[in-house]
Amino acid sequence: MNFNEQMKEKVTYIESVIGAYMPQDCTFQKTIADAMNYTMSAGGKRIRPMLMKATFDLYGGDSKLVEPFMAAMEMIHTYSLIHDDLPALDNDDYRRGRKTAHIVYGEDMAILAGDGLLNYAFEVAGKAFDLLEKNSIPDDVAQLDNEKTLALVSELKMRRNVEWAMQILAHKPGIYGMIGGQVVDVELTGSKLNEEQLTYIYENKTGALIEASMMIGAVLAGAGTDGIEKIAKVAYNIGMAFQIQDDILDETSTFEELGKALHSDEKNGKVTYVGIHGLEESKQEVERLSREAITLLQSIEGDSSFLQELTEYLIDRKN
Ligand code: GRG
pLDDT digits (tens, 9 = 90+) for 148-179: 999 999 999 999 999 999 999 999 999 999 99
pLDDT at 31 over 90: yes
What's the average model confidence in pLDDT over 43-64? 97
In this predicted structure, what is the pLDDT of residue 266? 87
Picking from 51-55, 115-119, 170-174, 254-258, which range would have the lowest pLDDT averaged per residue?
254-258
247, 48, 220, 171 alpha-carbon torsion, rounded to 10°: 60
CATH at residue 118:
1.10.600.10
Q: How far apart are CA 21 and CA 224, in angstroms?
A: 29
Q: Whose CA is nearest to atom 3 of ligand 1?
A: 83
Cα(84) to centroid(ligand 1), Å: 6
DSSP 269: T
Does 110 reside within a domain? yes
In terms of C-beta density within 10 A (0-12 exposed, 13-18 middle, 19 or more buried), how is residue 58 classed? buried
In this predicted structure, what is the pLDDT of residue 25? 86
From the alpha carbon of 88, which atom of ligand 1 is closest? Answer: 2
Question: What share of the chain in percent tops pLDDT 70?
Answer: 100
205 lines ligand 1 (CB under 6 A): yes
Q: Whose CA is nearest to atom 17 of ligand 1?
A: 206
**What is the number of structural domains in the chain?**
1
Q: Whose CA is nearest to atom 15 of ligand 1?
A: 206
The CA angle 25-29-30, to the nearest 5 degrees, is 60
In this predicted structure, what is the pLDDT of residue 268? 87
127 lines ligand 1 (CB under 6 A): no
Does 139 reside within a domain? no
Residue-wise pLDDT for 230-244, tens only, equals 999 999 999 999 999
178 lines ligand 1 (CB under 6 A): yes
Question: What share of the chain in percent tops pLDDT 90?
Answer: 95
What's the average model confidence in pLDDT over 240-260? 95
In this predicted structure, what is the pLDDT of residue 8? 97
In b/e form, how buried is each residue of 243-280, taking b as 16+ CB within 10 angstroms? bbbbbbbbeebeeeebbbebebbeeeebbbbbeebeee
What's the average model confidence in pLDDT over 87-96? 96
84 lines ligand 1 (CB under 6 A): yes
Residue-wise pLDDT for 288-318, tens only, equals 999 999 999 999 999 999 999 999 999 999 9
Q: How far apart are CA 229 and CA 231, in angstroms?
A: 6
Cα(66) to centroid(ligand 1), Å: 22
Average pLDDT, the chain: 96
In this predicted structure, what is the pLDDT of residue 93? 97
Which of 41, 46, 77, 253 is the pocket-test mutation for ligand 1 (most atoms within 8 Å of CB)? 77
Does 32 reside within a domain? yes
What's the average model confidence in pLDDT over 266-289? 95
> Is-above-0.95 flag for pTM?
yes
In this predicted structure, what is the pLDDT of residue 265? 86
DSSP per residue over 285-313, as a string?
Answer: HHHHHHHHHHHHHHTSSS--HHHHHHHHH
Does 199 reside within a domain? yes
Residue-wise pLDDT for 100-144, tens only, equals 999 999 999 999 999 999 999 999 999 999 999 999 999 999 999
Cα(30) to centroid(ligand 1), Å: 25
In this predicted structure, what is the pLDDT of residue 282? 98
Picking from 23-27, 82-86, 124-128, 213-217, which range would have the lowest pLDDT averaged per residue?
23-27
In this predicted structure, what is the pLDDT of residue 238? 98
Does 74 reside within a domain? yes
Does 141 reside within a domain? no
Q: Which domain holds residue 67?
A: 3-134+147-316
In this predicted structure, what is the pLDDT of residue 22? 97
Q: How far apart are CA 77 and CA 178, in angstroms?
A: 10
Does 43 reside within a domain? yes
